[in-house]
A and B are shown apart, each in its own frame.
Chain A
Amino acid sequence: MTFDFAFILSTLPAFLKAVGVTLQVGLIAIATSLVVALINAPILLYRIPVLHRLVALYVELARNTPLLIQLFFVYFALPALGVKISGFAAAIITMTFLGGAYLTEVLRAGVEAVPVAQLESGRSIGLSELQLLRHVILPQAGLLSLPALFANFIFLLKETTVVSAVAVPEILYTTKSYIALYYKTYEMLAVMTLICVLLFLPLSLLLSRLERRLQHGQFGS
């Protein structure tokens, strides 16, 4: 078993591109998921008639089914209904469907985690509902949701590996293609692992630190 460094070097441009695609899919999906969540969370929190039931149904459907099935449905079943889309578009749509549901829950839980006493205190000193929202609820809810929000961002970034199944040329798909073409399994697995560790390990370590930091910064502790 020899380790072919020259071959690894020759694949580096492709892998750089693959990291770019991973980040692109991940970041776009995070942004669109956040938009979905910012629309949905208030609907749940203010219990807007009919709509809040639909949002709740959406959240349960998205959270209790595998991303891979959602992806295959969008990519393989929608064309049968007359909607033809690329792998990349399918990836973004599916990850937004999944991520939107997770982030909706995060934001809702964040607002609900603000202690009731905070609301009562705010009202008792005569804040209007809007002032209450702006000066009491949102700052605290934002801080409380931050670790979970960040954890879900990392989760979504890691889930981009699944979209390799519909030929989006991210890290895993690139690895598979090179293995299939050149049989350099050993080298490609090493490169793939190294990229994942370099890309995701700092993020997950940062998350652990953020969680601990915010635990100390919580109110009443």
Chain B
Amino acid sequence: MASSGLELLLVSLPQLGKGAAQTLAISGLGILFATLGGVLYGVLATLGKHGVNIVLRIYLELFRAIPVLVWLYLLFFGLPIFLGVSLPSFWCAVLVLALWGASEVGEVVRGALLSLPRGQREAGLSIGLSGWQLYGYVLLPQALKRMTPPTINVYTRIIKTSSLAVLIGVVDVIKVGQQIIERTYESVLIYGALFLFFFFICYPLSAASRALERRWTHA
């Protein structure tokens, strides 16, 4: 039994690998766009423009109030009806993870930027730096240490949440696992393997986040 289980896993590896690649692609693209969007959000939120802040607040609260899975269904079923465009489920998942992740990373970036002493911004402006220079050379580099650990935590949440893509029909690592179970009935083995697959990706990230936080807050 045990050896046949291992054999099954070995035989299934190429198939599972393909699914895993989909899962990792969704997570990776989601993380990439969430980071870019999050930095943009953080910068915009610290400009001190009232109108911009209101728009960002609405964006944030919408993504906090409405669960990610609901957003997935909204875009997957709603886009074809409301905008006449139908997005493949893969890109639908990437888009939702990116938008949701950007609001989460954005709040982290905003908090980190706000935690810097006011004098930094004032000093930068007083020596005539432009907005780009102020953020690019003074504020963001200093905020980097404070925002990296919590941002890594958002990344692990994006990776975990990417699992929901299977529910709108993406053939990710979970779907492939389910197909193998349909053939072999080895549900304990396959779901156990899927559990460990996510754990061995997310745990090192969580541990790294904690280690960085400990190192940088004591320094």
A residues sitting closer than 8 Å to B (CB atoms) are 1, 60-61, 63-70, 72-73, 76-77, 79-81, 158-159, 161-162, 164-165, 172, 175-176, 179, 185-186, 189, 192-193, 196-197, 200-201, 203-205
Tell me, in angstroms, the Cα distance from A102 to B56 when the chains sit together: 28
Tell me, in angstroms, the Cα distance from A133 to B38 when the chains sit together: 41
- Nearest chain A CB to B88 CB, angstrom units: 18
Is the Cβ of B73 less than 8 Å from the Cβ of A162? no
Number of residues on chain B facing chain A (CB within 8 A): 37
Binds A, one of B113-121, B140-148, B162-170: B162-170
Is the Cβ of A66 less than 8 Å from the Cβ of B192? no
B169-208 interface code vs A (CB 8 A; 1 in, 0 out):
0000010000001000101101110110011001100100
* B78, CB-defined interface residue at 8 Å: yes
CB contact between B73 and one of A68, A72, A176, A197 (< 8 Å): that residue: A176
Is the Cβ of B74 less than 8 Å from the Cβ of A65? no
Is the Cβ of A197 less than 8 Å from the Cβ of B81? no
CB contact between B206 and one of A63, A67, A159, A204 (< 8 Å): that residue: A63
Tell me, in angstroms, the Cα distance from A73 to B174 when the chains sit together: 11
In the bound complex, residues from chain A placing their C-beta under 8 Å from that of B77 are 179, 185, 189
**Could you name 22 residue pairs across A and B whose Cβ atoms are closer than 8 Å?**
A60-B203, A64-B202, A64-B203, A65-B195, A65-B198, A66-B198, A68-B167, A76-B181, A76-B187, A77-B188, A79-B187, A81-B188, A159-B67, A161-B67, A172-B69, A172-B73, A192-B73, A193-B74, A196-B65, A196-B70, A200-B67, A203-B65
Tell me, in angstroms, the Cα distance from A55 to B203 when the chains sit together: 16
- Nearest chain A CB to B51 CB, angstrom units: 20
- Nearest chain A CB to B195 CB, angstrom units: 5
In the bound complex, residues from chain A placing their C-beta under 8 Å from that of B160 are 64-67
Is the Cβ of A69 less than 8 Å from the Cβ of B187? no
* B214, CB-defined interface residue at 8 Å: no
Q: For chain B residues 51-72, which have a beta carbon within 8 Å of chain A?
A: 61-62, 64-67, 69-70
Residue of B nearest to A188 (CB): B77
Residue of A nearest to B181 (CB): A76
In the bound complex, residues from chain A placing their C-beta under 8 Å from that of B66 are 193, 196-197, 200
- Scoring A66, A79, A158, A193 by chain B CB atoms within 10 A of each residue's CB, the highest score goes to A66
Is the Cβ of A204 less than 8 Å from the Cβ of B81? no
Residue of B nearest to A154 (CB): B64
In the bound complex, residues from chain B placing their C-beta under 8 Å from that of A159 are 67
Residue of A nearest to B78 (CB): A189
In the bound complex, residues from chain A placing their C-beta under 8 Å from that of B202 are 64-65
Is the Cβ of B67 less than 8 Å from the Cβ of A158? yes
In the bound complex, residues from chain A placing their C-beta under 8 Å from that of B166 are 68
Is the Cβ of B206 less than 8 Å from the Cβ of A64? yes
* B161, CB-defined interface residue at 8 Å: yes
* B35, CB-defined interface residue at 8 Å: no
* B156, CB-defined interface residue at 8 Å: yes
Tell me, in angstroms, the Cα distance from A162 to B160 when the chains sit together: 12
